[in-house]
Amino acid sequence: MDRILTESGIRIAEDAGSFIEDESERLSYTQLDARVRKLIATWAGQNWAGGGSTVALPMTNNIAGITAFIALLRNGVSIALLPADDTGSRPQFCSAVLDPTTMAVALNESGPQLASSEREPCVYLKTSGSTGTPKWVVFGQEQLVGNADGVRDRMRIDQQDCVLVSTPLPHMFGLGGGLLPALLAGASVKVTKSGDPLSILKAEREADPTVAFLIPSQCRALLPLRRSARQYRVIIVGVGRLSPEFMEAFEKMNGTVAGMYGSTELGAAVGAHPGAGSDRRYQYIGPAMKSVRVFVEADQSDGAGRSIGPVFIEHVAGYLGYANMAGELIAAAPDRQPMGDLGALNEFGDLDIVGRVDDRIKRDGFWVLTKDIEACLSDAEGVAEAAVISTGMTRRGAGIVAYVVSQAGAAFEATRLLQVCKKNLPGHMVPDEILELQSFKRLASGKIDLQALTEHAEERLRETESDK
Amino acid sequence: MNDPEFDILRSLVVRAFRSDVAREQITPDLTLFGGGLELDSFALVDLVMGIEKEFGVKFCEEDFTIENFANIRAISALIERSRSEN
């Protein structure tokens, strides 16, 4: 990532007094650069340069992880990023694993031993698996920098900012959304290992961030603990949406919220202008980033009369393609990427996401959006969170099963919740069954694991049928 | 920390944990975050709200530290400090 930590970039950040801080130390940009150089020299002393090969890097949100990431790329090494706690799934295409605690490189005896070509180093990121089996996505340096520059530009991040990154760096939102735009801008960076509210509040006391990258569940956990207003310049919320009502309440205590939308493959494709009015920011995520075009192939109307349909995105700084287990590109990125989401565009070109294409259910000849049922149940008394999936077939069409997690101390009453749905939703949208769970299993991204819910519902269906 | 206070805090932890964790399993020094029960963010919020309601205290933002919520003994000490400051 030479272009992010160039000499001129370091000088700009130094002049502004910018720093990189984790939970135990603070470095200036020059000190970070020195660490990177020292690490490269250490590897050279061990007769390991690694240029042209691919190394697995289990990456923690700390200075060691950032140092290792930059040093590998400067040495011309490709990187497969893994979550820090991922100790079992080393990709076969990696010739070595870097231990970010000791910075020692352990060669993978069963992996490829030497570089096969003088290729430009690339970065492999794994998809969350929320829509199937996780896949390795390949990015060149140009794509990562281009994507980061789009975020920096849209969110107006500069060297006066201090950017809080408390989402995992081995994921696109933490790396491409948070860390790389901040480094590119020469801003100060504060990283935390955990994204829990105690860690966020501690980071605020230590580094006084002006920009934060948060996911919706972090916002929902943070707000009840906020006792006096603390105004960020902008809080960028990705990997999901906040309701307009919640955004309004959250902004009063935390400052401007800007939604951001994208994927592991495309990085940040859409984002609100922090200076846009609240009406636009609350109802829609925002317009396309620079070098991005958004298309909605409208084929139905939603409850508000908006034309909605599948979302497609063209991103100049998107991904190169998917990799096979040898690390080679097997499927080049299409020019126009189907996002698998349903969206609507307003007159400004702002995008709103209304659900997943797979989450539309055909009942009684109507399209049903699972998020509308989830919203109804989430508003019901005693419900903390709701998720809806489709399984089996009923006379009305595809079956609908709703799962809820009750608020602490609240009793779960399926009959009452069904009545709430019948009162507030058209008949074809009322779930066939409402079940309670103690908690939702979540993906690393923080999203509810809908695949696990579907498997649970299908298992119940099989048991019910075998009992007949 | 007296027995009734410990009982209330233990109940609040069980409720926040939303699981069938046995009350008896919860000791004053059991780590609640990072290595013990692994309470998540929403469990923390439920626990804070429950404590404030049951004990009639109002924490300030500086009180929300990993150390203050490390275990029931630490929470009890925080409640005591909060009472004396209010």
pLDDT at A283: 92
Of B15, B62, B66, the CB nearest to A409: B15
Nearby residues of A319 by Cβ (< 8 Å), 6 or more positions away: A137, A138, A139, A143, A264, A265, A266, A267, A333
First to last CA, chain B: 19
Chain A: closest CA distance from residue B3 (Å): 22
CA torsion, ordered B62, B68, B70, B76, to nearest 10 deg: -140
Which pLDDT band, with edges at 50, 70 and 90, does A338 fall under? very high
Contact check, Cβ <8 Å, A201/B42:
no
Contact check, Cβ <8 Å, A225/B45:
yes
Chain B: closest CA distance from residue A234 (Å): 20
Name the interface residues of B facing A (CB cutoff 8 Å). 15-16, 18-19, 33-34, 40-42, 44-46, 48-50, 59-62, 64-66, 69
Of A195, A198, A438, the CB nearest to B64: A198
Tokens representing A308 are 């909605």
Which residue in A has a C-alpha nearest to residue B18's C-alpha? A438
Of A447, A448, A450, A416, the C-alpha closest to A434 is A416
In whole angstroms, how far apart are CA A200 and each of A163, A420, A428?
Answer: 12, 36, 42
- Per residue in A262-289, pLDDT tens? 999 999 999 999 999 999 999 999 999 9
pLDDT at A34: 94
- Per residue in A413-423, pLDDT tens? 999 999 999 99
Name the interface residues of A facing B (CB cutoff 8 Å). 194-199, 201-202, 205, 217-218, 220-221, 224-228, 384, 405, 408-409, 438-439
- Per residue in B2-55, pLDDT tens? 788 888 999 998 888 765 567 888 899 988 876 555 567 788 888 999 999 999
Contact check, Cβ <8 Å, A224/B64:
no
Selected for mutation to probe chain B from A193, A214, A227 (highest B CB count within 10 Å) is A227
Q: Is the pLDDT at A114 greater than 50, yes or no? A: no
Selected for mutation to probe chain A from B20, B49, B64, B68 (highest A CB count within 10 Å) is B64
Alpha helices of A315-363 — where are they, by DSSP H? none
Mean pLDDT of chain A: 88
Q: Is the pLDDT at A99 greater than 90, yes or no? A: no
Rounded CA-CA distance B71/B48 in Å is 13
pLDDT at A151: 97
